[in-house]
Every structure is written in C-alpha cells, then in structure tokens.
Amino acid sequence: MVLNPCFRPVLADLYPVLPMTPTHQRWPEQALPLATELQRSLSINDRQWHALKGQRQRRAAEQISSALVLLLRGSEPSAPSGSTLGTGQEAIALLEHALGWLKGEIRDPGCPSHGR
C-alpha cells in the first residue's frame, strides 16, 4: 500500500448528522456526538499546522478519530444503502494512514506555500 503524506482526515462537518430512532440504535446514544467532538478537537487547523504537522502521534490521532466518526455515521439505519461498505473502506484507509504515522513510515512533506 502506498501511503500519501498529504492525505487529510474527513472533517465531521462534511457529513450531516442523521437522526436515529431508539429501536435501531447500534451505538450508545452519545457515541456519535462524543466522537464528533473528539474529532473536531484533534483536527489540526491551518493555524496549528506548522507547529503540529510533524507530531506523529497527533497526526495518527487525527486520522483515528475521523475513522471512528465515519464508522458511527455509516452504520446508522438512515445512512444510504450500500454506504456501509464504502464507509468501511474509507475508515480502513484512515486507520492504515494512522498506522503509517505511528510507525514512522510517513512524514509531512512540508508546506507547499514555502516552495519546498
């Protein structure tokens, strides 16, 4: 597998929160809101980028939290049919990318705006 160092996590705001009926819940009621909050807090924004871009554990945590949000949203009963498989593959890609950061197999390529 080729790991792309420019791979960025899926931001939770890109996917709308889907309503869930109590009889069809697969996860605890607060799982998705808590995972979404965690993902937002771990996501590296533009102002933090230069300071945090090389921190392997931070970059991995960003990817892992995004994968968790995808899994929780993809398994909701109101998710489009067939989306679970795609969501699972996206989550796997994020987790593999996180492992690459943790193992030191990937490094940040640098900021393209600095002409590197």
Q: How many residues does the chain have?
A: 116
Determine the pLDDT at residue 50.
83
pLDDT at res. 110: 73
Cα(81)–Cα(3) distance, rounded to whole angstroms?
Answer: 29
Identify residue 79 by its one-letter amino acid code: A
pTM: 0.70
Distances in whole angstroms, Cα of residue 105 to Cα of each of 18, 60, 64, 114: 36, 12, 16, 23
Averages of pLDDT over each 10 residues, the chain, 116 residues: 53 52 70 96 88 92 95 73 70 95 88 63
Distance CA 109, CA 5 (A): 7
Phi, psi of 84 (to 5 degrees): -65, -40
